């Protein structure tokens, strides 16, 4: 294997079939096939629909990634795949495909953790991660704070959501406001015409002394606020509601992230996951990090959402660290703990 191996990464944890190819920390290709339009009419991801979409998209997406990279399958040195957490059926498609490519090509297989991959992907844009760093991952399924001494070997959970994840709350509030699925981008867009100070929505677990999150109460508060005004026949200024909700979420996320940096004496914060593409989160995090003397790293929006390049990036780290490859009988684990970086 070359000093900087070429790693192909496969991501199928939810509704996007992602295939990425990296050499070391250089991204060569990042191809994505999304089934989000198939889920939109249901207002959320339907696991069986996602699994079938992955089956149909897998081979064409691998071929598209290879074409973009100017490579053949014979040029691949290792295969990495999301083994969890995620939707069971969706994960199974990716894991089965990765095993087939690994066996067929005679190259090592690395089953990796989806959350750790969201941390590793930042290296494709900003270089090696500081050791240690604090990582905050915010998406439709996860809101987590992590201490990361070494993304290939050691990830420590500091806090997580006790109910709805931030992205899930965005989707549910968007539905209340009559906005399309997925809710995050639409709330972000609409909120630009509103005021984040218009409505004083609650901030769950804001100052409770923990590093955990809670967004279920906020989601319910928004729904009740809207319902009360509809019953009273009052008009609702959707941009103000969207902006005030978004402000509450972002306020809690950034406050907890900086608390983690202070408590553990870490001067570098990385934010990843789909919600990290939110413009208000990026702006507030930058403001608060500058005020606290913390260095902030956030991948570009295209690398925040689920993709194959993040899986390939973590696979590359595992190869470079000399970690043993995964056996060909690795399972897909929908509840894989974040502390298990490599299966």
Domains of the chain, first to last: 6-121+307-320 (3.30.420.40), 131-299 (3.30.420.40)
Residue 8: what are its φ and ψ, rounded to 5°? -100, 125
Q: What is the pLDDT of residue 141?
A: 82
In angstroms, the first-to-last Cα distance of the chain is 21
Residue ranges in the chain assigned as alpha helix (H): 36-40, 47-69, 88-105, 114-120, 123-126, 166-176, 183-191, 216-231, 238-264, 279-292, 301-304, 308-320
Closest CA to 138 of 128, 146, 127: 146
Q: What is the pLDDT of residue 177?
A: 97
> 271 pLDDT exceeds 60?
yes
Q: Average pLDDT in the 182-197 region?
A: 96
In three-state secondary structure terms, 82 is strand
Yes or no: say if 283 and 273 are a contact pair by the CB < 8 Å rule: no
CA distance 216 to 227: 17
* pTM assigned to the model: 0.94
Report pLDDT digits (tens) over 275-290: 999 999 999 999 999 9
Strand 268-272 and strand 133-138: the pairing is parallel
Q: What is the pLDDT of residue 341?
A: 95
Counting every residue written for the chain, the total comes to 343
> 85 pLDDT exceeds 60?
yes
Work out the number of other CB atoms within 10 angstroms of the CB of residue 227: 11
* Range of weakest confidence among 47-61, 113-127, 237-251, 263-277: 47-61
Per-residue buried b or exposed e for 288-306, using 16+ beta carbons within 10 Å of the residue's own CB:
bbeebebebbbbeeebbbb
- Residue 125 tokens read as 């844009």
CA distance 127 to 103: 31
Closest CA to 145 of 165, 171, 124, 168: 165
CA distance 142 to 72: 35
């Amino acid at each position: 294997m070359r000093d900087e191996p070429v790693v192909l990464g496969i991501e199928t944890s939810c509704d996007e079939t992602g295939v990425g190819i990296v050499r070391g920390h250089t991204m060569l290709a990042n191809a994505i096939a999304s089934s989000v339009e198939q889920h939109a009419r249901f207002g959320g991801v339907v696991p069986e629909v996602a699994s079938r979409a992955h089956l149909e998209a897998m081979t064409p997406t691998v071929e598209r990634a290879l074409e973009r990279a100017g490579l053949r399958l014979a040029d691949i040195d290792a295969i990495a795949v999301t083994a969890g957490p995620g939707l069971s059926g969706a994960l199974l498609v990716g894991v089965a495909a990765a095993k087939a490519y690994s066996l067929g090509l005679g190259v090592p297989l690395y089953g990796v953790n989806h959350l750790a991959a969201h941390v590793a992907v930042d290296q494709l844009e900003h270089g090696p991660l500081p050791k240690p760093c604090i990582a905050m991952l915010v998406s439709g399924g996860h809101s987590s704070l992590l201490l990361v001494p070494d993304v290939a070997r050691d990830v420590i959970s500091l806090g997580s959501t006790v109910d709805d994840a931030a992205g899930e709350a965005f989707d549910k509030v968007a539905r209340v406001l009559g906005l399309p699925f997925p809710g995050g981008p639409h709330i972000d867009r609409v909120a630009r015409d509103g005021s984040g100070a218009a409505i004083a929505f609650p901030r769950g677990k804001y100052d409770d002394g923990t590093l955990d999150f809670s967004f279920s109460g906020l989601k319910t508060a928004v729904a009740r606020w809207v319902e009360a005004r509809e019953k009273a026949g009052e008009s609702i200024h959707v941009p103000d509601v969207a902006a005030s909700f978004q402000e509450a979420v972002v306020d809690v996320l950034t406050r907890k992230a900086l608390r983690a940096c202070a408590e553990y004496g870490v001067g570098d914060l990385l934010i990843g996951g789909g919600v990290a593409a939110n413009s208000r989160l990026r702006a507030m995090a930058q403001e608060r990090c500058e005020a606290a003397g913390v260095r902030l790293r956030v991948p570009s929006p295209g690398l925040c959402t689920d993709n194959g390049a993040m899986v390939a990036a973590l696979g590359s780290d595992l190869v470079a660290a000399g970690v043993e490859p995964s056996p060909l009988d690795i399972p897909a684990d929908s509840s894989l703990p974040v502390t298990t970086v490599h299966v």
